[in-house]
Structure 1
């Protein structure tokens, strides 16, 4: 008579570390030992000898098994408490295994970066877009890449921005030939932290619209004080710069610097200037929206000196080339003039002057000439008056001259006083 093939009933006992440790693996199957204290709680003994805790339960008519953790990383006591918590959730009508699956599919911050770069960044100016890609990949993704979007808290934002504000070590060149390098200590970068905070605030605002979370953890981030660098060239320094530009072999680079100084324009706007943008009869320059920071057409008047530079460039640039300063790559403008500027700094003995400082100098000369802040803002292409306010203190000199003029009108006139001890003067004899 053949033996009936019956499935062995599952083992049941009150689990403890001793029973789990002594349970022997079987060579042909995995098996479970169920706990008698918490319904569905078990230890699974695998053929390999590994052991892990699980909870078996039914939800909506379906049999489910949820892994809790491996032994001995999880003790029996800890796993049993976790099983009790899960059992309470099940009794309340929740499906913990289903919720765990939803979490696996929930968007992570890396997904948020990808969507932000695909949908929002392409609408930004090229330089700004490149900067945001860099800060997200180097400063944010290493910390938050695998986090769920819903997990990030205001505390996480503050912690990350604190790390960024402290700065990081950077390679420093000791010699011009770049052969010798060393790591400098971290240099504080509070302004960089502010820029990252602004990007995160925008990203989470978009995430709310995408239904990825309900609030914005970066909305109230602590903004660090930004001490704007203010470096203005003196009349003597302007003269040295002009001499160095006149003596430069690369007059293409010299022309770019001259236009930056004479128009207060950003170097990117000058590099991408085209002949068609200049009206030499009306002496005006119409910068297209694609090349301006504010992404709007910016029309400014130009001086006779600027018009002369444009005419001179028209004589040296091959006919048919639209760029005022064509680059070495055919059909493209000059890409960068950093090396040229380093040489000019040395020749003019202006090591601490940046190209952007020429823009500040242009504004300071306008102020000394009596221009209003509104006029300066229009010439520099500022979209917010707050940006132009940084030059307000330069107006102190003409204002002070006016105040001194008024004060001089009320200043007491000197009165001749005679010395009482001196002998009286005989006016008749005198």
Structure 2
């Protein structure tokens, strides 16, 4: 191969003939240094040498980006590696791999809690119920939206307890950081903070098992420390439930609520013993008028069928069909009612019944059945509690008609104690 001394004019003048796929010019100064050109591309420096008896060619770089002396120095470096018995191609691959690994490590190091949180939610959402999904969104919201209530006088919504952690790098979510967060949040909103702590604890467990994030988070879950747990305190056991003698005042106050949908919802809540969210989630398609059943979307079993008792059916039958929801909102076109607890609080205040929550109505159903000595398994099946014994779990099967026998008796007794006239309405079973 003819060689010439590389100069800038020779480099700039070098072209590949149009009738050839590529053309080379070789340097007489640096062994193995060449300039390669194609008809359509720009010239680039290459190095050609012999490694272990085989020709190898390595691209150095564009002629525009490399000065002649620098290209010559690079060619000499590559030849020196071959003389030392090293493969420049493998060294280049190793360097690129190391560079890519470093870039990936830096990228992971820079991942924020929010970025990992969104990946976590996306992966886990198919396994969660809607209420659990809503908790993850509610506790991380930024706040600052205009609102008229529940804002502690600020006029805008408050940020969720987890929001301050979202913008931290994931690697900085350490035990001291979580402990400081728990100490602060535990002083102002301990109930919400305890739920938030359970969510962040589960999230960090997921991160430790995820290949992309396991290198960033500590091996031991930083949320599982005694200090953070103690800072949030223990939840008090709820004891709110209606007494038998409070039923007349409660029914009178709830029946007087101006919104009939809310009034019917609260009475249904008490007479079914279901969870507040389960009753709000009822749709018209969940009513089985043929077999007098009510399909409840259950957080334990997915769904359960309970009796559609006469009085509850009369309440539901009187409601307007605004949308697919049984307890539909007046203001929102395709939504169920929201925040019925406010109307309930006012009704309880009028009835002089203190501190009775919506979940307290579910607790009331269970407590009031004690007066009737209804089998515990029956009440648990109606309410959607997990069976507590092997025989109950595997050997006891109660069909809907057997549940109805007990449930209608419970409803009739509660209405009688509340001075409500039990409905005589019976839906025929065809």
* Counterpart check, 1:195 vs 2:205: no
Q: How many residue pairs are counted as aligned between the two chains?
A: 265
Specify which of 288, 296, 300 is matched with residue 294 of structure 1: 300
Q: CA deviation at 1:144?
A: 6.1
User: Following the alignment from structure 1 to structure 2, what is the Cα–Cα distance between the partners of residues 221 and 378?
Assistant: 37
Q: Deviations over 1:250-292 (max 9, x none)?
A: 222211111001001223222232233223453321123xxx4
Structure 1 residue runs of 5 or longer lacking an equivalent are 1-60, 62-94, 168-186, 387-430
* Counterpart check, 1:140 vs 2:162: yes
Mapping of residues 29-68 of structure 1, within 5 Å: none
User: Following the alignment from structure 1 to structure 2, what is the Cα–Cα distance between the partners of residues 117 and 379?
Assistant: 32
Q: Is the 8 A contact 1:256 1:270 kept in 2?
A: yes
User: Following the alignment from structure 2 to structure 1, what is the Cα–Cα distance between the partners of residues 193 and 239?
Assistant: 20
User: Following the alignment from structure 2 to structure 1, what is the Cα–Cα distance between the partners of residues 134 and 285?
Assistant: 28
Q: CA deviation at 1:220?
A: 3.4
Aligned to 2:224: 220
Specify which of 377, 381, 406 is matched with residue 380 of structure 2: 377
User: Following the alignment from structure 1 to structure 2, what is the Cα–Cα distance between the partners of residues 111 and 216?
Assistant: 21
* Counterpart check, 1:117 vs 2:158: no
Mapping of residues 44-193 of structure 1, within 5 Å: 102-103=105-106, 105-106=108-109, 107-121=111-125, 123-137=127-141, 138-143=160-165, 145-149=167-171, 151-167=172-188, 189=190, 191-193=191-193
Specify which of 252, 262, 268 is matched with residue 271 of structure 2: 262
Specify which of 347, 352, 372 is matched with residue 350 of structure 2: 347
User: Following the alignment from structure 1 to structure 2, what is the Cα–Cα distance between the partners of residues 326 and 143?
Assistant: 36
Q: Is the 8 A contact 1:266 1:359 kept in 2?
A: yes
Q: Is the 8 A contact 2:341 2:358 kept in 1?
A: no
Q: CA deviation at 1:358?
A: 0.8
User: Following the alignment from structure 2 to structure 1, what is the Cα–Cα distance between the partners of residues 387 and 187?
Assistant: 29
User: Which of structures 1 and 2 has the larger relative contact order (alpha carbons within 8 angstroms, sep 6+)?
Assistant: 2
Aligned to 2:146: none
Q: CA deviation at 1:143?
A: 4.0
With over 3 angstroms needed to count, the CA separation of the structure-2 counterparts of 1:347 and 1:295, relative to structure 1, is same
With over 3 angstroms needed to count, the CA separation of the structure-2 counterparts of 1:324 and 1:140, relative to structure 1, is closer
Structure 2 residue runs of 5 or longer lacking an equivalent are 1-76, 78-97, 142-159, 390-430
User: Following the alignment from structure 1 to structure 2, what is the Cα–Cα distance between the partners of residues 141 and 247?
Assistant: 40
Specify which of 353, 359, 368 is matched with residue 365 of structure 1: 368
User: Following the alignment from structure 2 to structure 1, what is the Cα–Cα distance between the partners of residues 140 and 336?
Assistant: 28
Q: CA deviation at 1:362?
A: 0.4
Mapping of residues 390-429 of structure 1, within 5 Å: none
Aligned to 1:235: 244
Q: CA deviation at 1:299?
A: 1.5
Aligned to 2:340: 337
Aligned to 1:396: none
Q: Deviations over 1:125-180 (max 9, x none)?
A: 3332222223235333424632343x43344433433333222xxxxxxxxxxxxx
With over 3 angstroms needed to count, the CA separation of the structure-2 counterparts of 1:281 and 1:348, relative to structure 1, is farther
User: Following the alignment from structure 1 to structure 2, what is the Cα–Cα distance between the partners of residues 377 and 160?
Assistant: 38
Aligned to 2:311: 305
Q: Is the 8 A contact 1:266 1:356 kept in 2?
A: yes
